[in-house]
Amino acid sequence: MTSHQNHPGEPGSAEGQARQGEDLAALLKRLIAEAPGKTQKDLAVEAGVRYPTLNAWVNRTRGTSQVDEETLRELVRVFRLWGVETTPKEFFEAVRRPVPGPTSEEREKRLLKLYRQLPEDKQRALVKDAEAMVAVSRVS
């Protein structure tokens, strides 16, 4: 059964909430177990993650604090394709990061349009500011 599309930080949604204290390794093991006939190797191939990297996350021999946001979303997508209920919120909580708010294509286009209007030095400054905001949000 697949889950409905919801916003990653949707309050009050009991669906897909990470179990108390569940890290990425525990989450991946649990979700793979819920996908009959699927393996870590299948997940790595379909999510575009190198198998040794995925295996290191599962075995806790490689840190997960720097896992790319898009990789987390891709893992969610693959599990959903397999009929496993999960949410981005569950994955972000498992790597101890704040759950990003829902994105809007219109808002992203507007931001890109503004960015392109800036001179190069201001573009660089904006990127640094955005990186700082992301870093601060991870600490909060």
CATH H-level superfamily of 1-102: lambda repressor-like DNA-binding domains (1.10.260.40)
Q: Which two tokens stand for residue 75?
A: 């893992």
Asked if pLDDT for residue 13 goes beyond 70, the answer is no
Q: Each residue of 47-80: pLDDT tens digit? A: 999 999 999 999 999 988 889 989 999 999 999 9
Residue 5 has a pLDDT of 42
Residue 115 banded pLDDT, cuts 50, 70, 90 = very high
Cα separation, 94 vs 125, whole angstroms? 31
Mean pLDDT of 30-41: 96
Whole-model pTM?
Answer: 0.66
